[in-house]
Structure 1
Amino acid sequence: MKTLSLTAWFWLILTGYLAMAGGASPAFAEETHIMIRARAVDAKFIGSGVGGMRAVVEDPETGVILDEGQIRGSTGDTTLLMKTPLERSQQIATEATAGYLATVNIERPRLLRFRIWGPSGARQSQQEAAVTSWVIPGRDIVGDGIIINLPGFIVDAWTHVSEDNQVHIYAKITMMCGCPIMKDGLWPPDKLEVKAILMQNSEKLREITLPFTGTANLFQGKTAIKEPGIYEMIVYAYDKVTGNTGVNQTMVRIASE
């Protein structure tokens, strides 16, 4: 009987190993597409107007990322999203609506986690949300796809101290999609409670109401601070109906006379 050389044995064992591993080989995986979208609570889709959103597809047990990218596009059809009663199974996303079409290669049904983070253009108001869903090889989830609701408001706050130590507090607030808050609009300011919390050394000193100025998205108030020091101003917007909440903070320095 002919004796095999060490080299021949090596290639024989390697070929057998690859054959056994073939059932889990990527060659047997199917390319599957999943559309991922982010929608602001009580508003429209989140897209390029606020810098887009980061979208990640990952294994919920290991955290291994299977795909990732940016959600980009428009906020969607205003009439369809905000004014039209929807029927069952009615698609609410249009061709231009913001989304990210993820691609995964899987060889068996898998439970995947879809995670969004942003908006990228409003770092002070970024939020994260995630959902898990089963995905079947070769069975695309497109159209509306997987829609993840993102709570919060985009809140940009700043202050100005006048000579008499009056602190003027400003807040520019929009929905997470960048949609405007204005009188007689779809998102009226009287739905919101907008206040600033004045703090020092982790102690709450007072709350200051910030009324709507009449200019879209802009709220303003003021308070007097007599004692010199460094103060923290936490500005929040709270929807009394939905409970949706957004926060931003800024620092105030009162100099000694």
Structure 2
Amino acid sequence: MLRLSALYRYPLKSGKGEPLQQIGLDRLGVDGDRRWMLVDEASGRFLTQRAVAKMSQLSALWNSTGGLTLSSPGHTALDVALPGDDGLRGVTIWRDTLRVPDAGDAAAAWVSAFIGKPTRLVHMPLERARFTESGYGQDDDQVGFADGYPLLLIGQASLDDLCARIGRPMQMLRFRPNLVIEGAEAFAEDGWKRLRIGDVEFRVVKPCSRCILTTIDPQTGERSPDREPFATLEAYRKTEKGAMFGQNLVNDGIGRLEIGMPVTVLE
């Protein structure tokens, strides 16, 4: 039987992952997932672990006021309030340019000290969400600050297969999924089109092309000197569009997910 075996949320794009036992879904995927982002103060361009590997050591967790608590070794924790629309900042993420609320100067000072250059923290309200890439999914599908789609699914057997080829274990968090499914054969998810978990249905819209970010150890922030697991993915999972691992999903509807829920492949 297929079951949901792990759930993750990443409140800050490219920040630490947060394992969950249960969580709600809104129309942008997991509640609170990648709704905050760091941007270069001068250009407004987004920052990720691809260029700033130590972002893997930056914890950003939702707090009781609806804002964010930033923390990292060597830095005093800071509570950041949920910003309103009175201070919008122009930002660029991939090919999208948009205006979103800025979290203020105190947050900017904290993240600038962490990053080592002038940086701003911005927030994505539901009403300012981006549209997903045209040509995949539906025209009205939307996403927060995730690279392209609301959700990422990986089969546990797929990771097991990859680790066996590498010859050592690799943490699932290197691949930053939201949903992990167990009980299927390795890469069974490549053939899925629709599935249901609990009361929520999901569309599988596009394989996920992986990058050098997978070589960063989420525990230490250090890059693998042998470029694993990316090197092995390129050796046996490479297509003309990249080395694929995991599937991007869109949820059709809202609801709640909990580890252990059965998963039904509908198509």
TM value normalised by structure 1: 0.29
Larger RCO, structures 1/2 (Cα 8 Å, 6+ apart): 2
TM value normalised by structure 2: 0.28
Q: Find the structure with the greater CA-based Rg.
A: 1
Structure with greater proportional strand content: 1
